[in-house]
Structure 1
Amino acid sequence: MAKVLMCYPEGRHKALTMSYDDGRNADRRLVDIFNRNGIKGTFHINSGLFDQPDRLTEEEVQTLYEGHEVSAHTLTHPTIARCPNEQIVHEVMEDRKNLERIVGYTIRGMSYPNGSYNSRIKELLPGLGIEYARVVAGTDHYGMPDDWLEWQPTCHHNRDLMKHAQTFLNLNKTQYLYLMYVWGHSYEFDLDNNWELIEQFCTCIGGKDDIWYASNIEIVDYTKAFEQLKFSAAMDFVYNPTALSVWLSVDGQPVEVKSGEQRKF
């Protein structure tokens, strides 16, 4: 029987994703840094606060974040664990509607405003079209999430970022699937006067052939595509019913299973 393991695209076993909240003006500088280093980010935006100071304008969102993911952060950033269900539904759905009108694609993820969530909110979100939601407590580890609606990052960028980067770059055991997930707020680089930190990080970790640079939703979609693969009982072929190519390690060799393809091992 073939030994089959999930891989990231092109047979990689490491991925990096970045997650930044609030849609502040400093995102312009952060996006430029990401773009120069080939790094992808997910940007969680409160669409009801475009008219507030230090916020991006609605008109620049689509162009600025091109190549990245725009995601929900609720309409007005309330502490939603204190809110009634009706208000949570309004905050999430109106944010989705506004952002979808602006960027032209379905918004399917979010980060919890003020890090506020509970089991009641997690139960609501799938019915509101939300497939993942990021929390703020980091793990200091490099694994895939067990719960997409309680997705813990590796670290905030102010928590030993370069130490984490070096550890991540040195991970080389291909029997594991590694994910480094960094979160924060771009305006914190202004407040802390440490833009050189994210510049150094992106220069250090960008442009690596063995790392998949992905948005949050790309990781979700790819993982779900793998989970939908139809393997034979004898593990001698697989059928891919999804719209994405999925890469596998089959007896140590990278194998691409294209959309709609049945592939023998």
Structure 2
Amino acid sequence: MRIRFDLFPGGKSKALTLSYDDGREFDRKMVSILNRFDIRGTFHLNSGLLGKPGYLDREEVKELFSGHEVSAHTVSHPFLNLSPKERIADEILQDRRELEHLAEYPVKGLSYPHGAWNKEVVALLPALGVEYARTTLNNGSFDMPEDFLLWSPTCHHRDMLEYGQKFMDDRPRHPRMSLLYVWGHSYEFNNNQNWDQLERFGELIGHHPDIWYATNIEIVLYVKALHQLRFAVSGELVHNPSASSVWFSLEGQAVEIKPGETKRLVV
């Protein structure tokens, strides 16, 4: 019995997520463009910078990012790899606490300020309640991460059109989860006067029924739920202990296991 963990929600094999840092005022324009194309993303905010010139106001965070994800980026944007453990913990926990107050849900993700990290920083994250952390190391692939605490994106948005087209054309030889992960800063579009690039990306990749448009944390939670499935030795029975539906392929056919369901698999 051939069972493969190769499907996203709805039995889709492709997913798109975006990840943007710093909470600058240009996030407003970016969100308005993404919403037009039903593209969803994660916005990593420095809570200590909110309300300062050029940054978002605290009061707008919940409404602006409705349908997207608010995630941590530390309070003051330090180099975590050059910081003592006590400061790392304080920067992340304070940022989480303040953003959770504003967004009104648990904030469990992080992007590394300046893209800076080391093994000591990574080792601290689980104790600080962080479930994923994004690097700035572009991997140029559509593969799922091996370690969500060192989650490398596909590309920076300067290359989003190139990789967006590759993603749309991608037909892997063997079935797999295919993820396009784009990161950047919204102010870069303003600095380079190339907002049209984001518009063209939306036209290329938005509104496709076979793509799952997800936030970073939704991908993490889905993969965790998928790997929590409990199979009988024979493979003929499966139980889903999670609160989310998950999908996988059985002999090439999509199978949904609903929350709490125990299902007998028939080929």
Give the TM-score normalised by structure 2.
Answer: 0.97
| Residue matched to 1:129 | 129
Structure 2 residue 95 is the aligned partner of structure 1 residue 108: no
| Residue matched to 2:157 | 157
Shift of 1:132: 0.4
| Separation of aligned partners in 2, 1:21 and 1:14 | 24
Equivalenced residue count is 264
| Residue matched to 2:238 | 238
State the identity %. 48
Q: Deviations over 1:23-78 (max 9, x none)?
A: 01100000011100010100000001113210000000000000000000000101
| Separation of aligned partners in 1, 2:100 and 2:123 | 23
Shift of 1:161: 1.8
| Separation of aligned partners in 2, 1:203 and 1:54 | 28
| Separation of aligned partners in 2, 1:99 and 1:203 | 32
| Residue matched to 1:18 | 18
Moved over 3 A (4+): 2-6
- Alignment check: 8 A CA contact 1:5 1:250 kept: no
SS in 1 for 2:91: helix
Q: Greater CA deviation, 39-48 or 170-179? A: 170-179
| Separation of aligned partners in 2, 1:113 and 1:52 | 18
Q: RMSD of the alignment, in Å?
A: 0.9
| Separation of aligned partners in 2, 1:71 and 1:200 | 26
Shift of 1:2: 4.0
Q: How does 1:1-265 map to 2 (within 5 A)?
A: 1-158=1-158, 160-173=159-172, 175-265=175-265
| Separation of aligned partners in 2, 1:172 and 1:259 | 30
Shift of 1:177: 1.2
Shift of 1:14: 0.6
SS in 1 for 2:18: strand
| Separation of aligned partners in 2, 1:191 and 1:47 | 23
Letter in 2 for 1:37: F
- Alignment check: 8 A CA contact 2:6 2:176 kept: no
Q: Deviations over 1:133-182 (max 9, x none)?
A: 00001011100001111100000001x22111111001133612100000
Shift of 1:5: 3.2
Shift of 1:4: 3.5
Q: Greater CA deviation, 168-177 or 75-84? A: 168-177
| Separation of aligned partners in 1, 2:246 and 2:6 | 8
Letter in 2 for 1:246: V
Q: 1:147 to 1:4 in 2, by over 3 A?
A: closer
| Separation of aligned partners in 2, 1:51 and 1:26 | 14
Give the TM-score normalised by structure 1.
Answer: 0.98
Q: Deviations over 1:71-123 (max 9, x none)?
A: 00000101111110000011000000000011111010010001110000000
Shift of 1:252: 1.2
| Separation of aligned partners in 2, 1:19 and 1:9 | 20
SS in 2 for 1:125: helix
- Alignment check: 8 A CA contact 1:6 1:226 kept: no
Shift of 1:3: 3.2
| Separation of aligned partners in 2, 1:185 and 1:192 | 11
SS in 1 for 2:193: coil
- Alignment check: 8 A CA contact 2:24 2:187 kept: yes
Structure 2: which 5+ runs fail to align? none
- Alignment check: 8 A CA contact 1:8 1:247 kept: yes
